[in-house]
Structure 1
């Protein structure tokens, strides 16, 4: 029960912070006017979910139900462990994101603090426990992994919402242009995910221990994550090399839109499943 609450809190927090950074990033890359209300809602949600994660962490340590918060243990975590500084930085970044939404073009100003808030997730998983120089490299790789994943998730959210609102007879050229412009960003995202993911795996397990993953629950979940990542790559490739040219050429646009809508829905669902696995993996001993 307590482990499930911790995984659930991590999962919800990851989705919130990924969207908080990913949406402004995609809006900026596409030259779009962002929705400051959505950004403010996600920043507020990040604060609430961070508190929930703290209470879930305390409940997991003591074995008490999260419905009866252990405030004493939560206070110890805040004042006597690295969790305190991490939540302080994240809280300040989230408040700065909220303030940015009050400014003209706040969707642009919100991106740096939102990226900082998302990056703090690297200190609450395995990367946060790695020490010395190796720990610094691990956290840099993990931050890059988080930012790349956030960029992909934010792009999927905007694209899915845009395609979902298309109606028969709608002009599909803006969608095709958006997909085409996303291709370079998508390539950078995938390259970053692959390189940083490989570094993370080596840092967490070690090269010599990689074969032993096959006999662990961590390894099975990691394998499932990699399979889902491969599925996302396949869908993204289909969007780029098949559906986008069909929309640009105006060939059976309604059929292409239907296929694109289904592809983006499956890709988004796969991304959510990957985040659920990552939330679970972060609570496990890799060699247990």
Structure 2
């Protein structure tokens, strides 16, 4: 089965946007950090982006079904998707969550308050992605288990992506500030504790998803399908992220702490900056692969 590039592109944009929207406030909340004006502006852009990418994904899905272009949509197909499939309800829930985030960002007077409510609404918006792929098509009790595992997978991945974006921003913005660098090192240390839970959740939920999608007996057949090869690429990137995360935890973060104490920040910051950059690139690569995997028949060749 060929990959529909337009559909994959809209899915990737949607996944990346909602992962950042859910992950950033979760990270700030876990670090007991407030949301200043700049952070709130970023969240507002991401919430608008979630609405826009959702609309584009709907149109791209309709175009893929009807065999038309994105800008010449068959509106009867759009109507069918909204009325007769789970796409309508999930887009409704997502839209409500994203609009509430925008309202909270506009009317809240606590500009530096903890983003707990925003984090909860953003996780709801991200969780709706579980109904837009293979998990959404699974029925009965198996479907409930599959979607629960997918929701956990999505939220753990979002938390990791949000942490990477926040930490990468901090390491770039604290180039010559010793106190900021010490705080960054402390945040990296704290995140490593959460990161262990994220990794366990991703491995367990990912294994459940794979078995639910193809069946345990059919797992060897994945080696003969495009889906299987892309899944292996995803696992390889995940393994690369684990290696970099371990290096950050056990080598680069302690080195950054020592550098902050000695005042020689540049070398340690450069190494950590490069590691976080590559880890973020790998995370985006995984999101792109997930966007493609959701459009393919796992055993379709």
Q: Secondary structure at the match of 1:110?
A: helix
How do 1:62-211 and structure 2 match up within 5 A?
A: 62-101=66-105, 102-103=107-108, 104=110, 105=113, 107-168=115-176, 170-171=178-179, 172-211=181-220
Aligned partners of 1:158 and 1:272: how far apart in 2?
A: 15
Aligned partners of 1:254 and 1:242: how far apart in 2?
A: 16
- How far 1:170 sits from its partner (Å)? 3.6
Ranges in structure 2 where 5+ consecutive residues have no aligned partner: none
Aligned partners of 2:153 and 2:266: how far apart in 1?
A: 35
Are 1:21 and 1:151, in contact at CA under 8 Å, matched by a contact in 2?
yes
Superposition CA RMSD, Å: 1.4
Are 1:100 and 1:107, in contact at CA under 8 Å, matched by a contact in 2?
no
- What TM-score do you get using the length of structure 1 for normalisation? 0.97
Residue range with higher mean Cα deviation, 161-170 or 209-218: 161-170
- What TM-score do you get using the length of structure 2 for normalisation? 0.93
Higher relative contact order (CA 8 A, sep 6+): 2
Aligned partners of 1:186 and 1:273: how far apart in 2?
A: 19
Residue in structure 1 matched with residue 221 of structure 2 by the alignment = 212
Structure 1 runs (4+) deviating above 3 angstroms are 168-171
**Alignment partner of 1:287 is 2:299:** yes
Residue in structure 2 matched with residue 23 of structure 1 by the alignment = 24
Which of 248, 265, 273 in structure 2 is aligned with 1:253?
A: 265
Residue range with higher mean Cα deviation, 88-97 or 260-269: 88-97
